[in-house]
Amino acid sequence: MALKIWLNDGLVDEADAKVSVFDHGLLYGDGVFEGIRVYDRKIFELEAHIRRLYESARVIRLSMRMSEPELIEAVETTVRANDIEDGYIRLVVTRGVGTLGLDPLVCTDGSLIIIADKIQLYPEELYEKGMKIVSATTVRNHPLALPPQVKSLNYLNNIMAKIEALDNDVPEAVMYNHEGYVAEATGDNIFIVRNGVLYAPPVEAGSLEGITRGVVIRLADREGITVVEKNLTRYDLYVCDEFFLSGTAAEVIGIVEIDGRTVGDGKPGPITRMLRERFDDYARGKEK
């Protein structure tokens, strides 16, 4: 069955979902986006994702063509139209059609695109055995250039770090900020465990304020695990007991090696495994 794509004001067939080559989202990466999961036909943390999208748009002075309630309804309509039981939503808003110049004020009718489809996850084996990663030499964007909390369509900073990971035959890389502190992975947030305490880089270090990240912190707190947000260094990653990533697509996945150094005993640790189980229960509404 061909996908139904929400384009601007309603659903269209996949073959008809087209934007202009003069759209500044294409020409300059001028726009914002969200990635959202669907579990058992329920959209995960939809209101939080929509709120973050509008905040990103406000920061880059991008006008939205719908109110938040209208956009929530459009997302739900798109998911139902494609009969998505477990899948992924990509929500994209661009500045719209303009000229070949940078001037954003000439752009009209920003494009709104909602895609709901299946998603290619990491193989289950990787969740069981854990993932190897490397440190990227690509530095996270300076916060005075573009706040890292903005999920913009210009993802070149992350893509260049991703290329470094792939060059080293691993799927992910750690990005550090201009001061040398841990920011995030190329597409996920970072957590480590040391002496039973869960540590996460603060948002100010250059990490996205991830929706999954926030859920993991709440779940850890419920389990009585102390959570500390503080600046982390490469040394902290090398000596931690456990290391895992969180994100919309990755969910919770353990890291067992970084830069050739084994993390813990070389297997996803007990807190990582527990939080992955708790997250799955939470996402699917099976919490005890």
| Cα–Cα distance for residue pair 237/50, rounded to 1 Å | 32
- As a whole number of angstroms, the distance between CA 142 and CA 249 comes to 25
CA distance 121 to 258: 21
Write the CA distances from 18 to 15, 22, 118, 153, 267, integer angstroms: 8, 12, 20, 17, 45
Q: Where are the alpha helices (DSSP H) in 36-88?
A: 46-59, 68-81
Nearest to 212 by CA among 75, 33, 35, 42: 35
**Cross-strand bridge partners of residue 32:** 93, 152
Active site residue 18: no
Helix (H) or strand (E) holding 268: none
Q: Which amino acid is residue 6, in one-letter code?
A: W
Residue given tokens 């503080």 in the structure block = 230
Tokens 């750690």 correspond to 174
112: nearest Cα among 25, 4, 14, 13: 25
Catalytic option among 151, 267, 286, 288: 151
CA dihedral 134, 185, 247, 145 (to 10 degrees): -170
- Judge whether 253 and 244 are in contact, CB under 8 Å: yes
Catalytic residue numbers, as ranges: 151
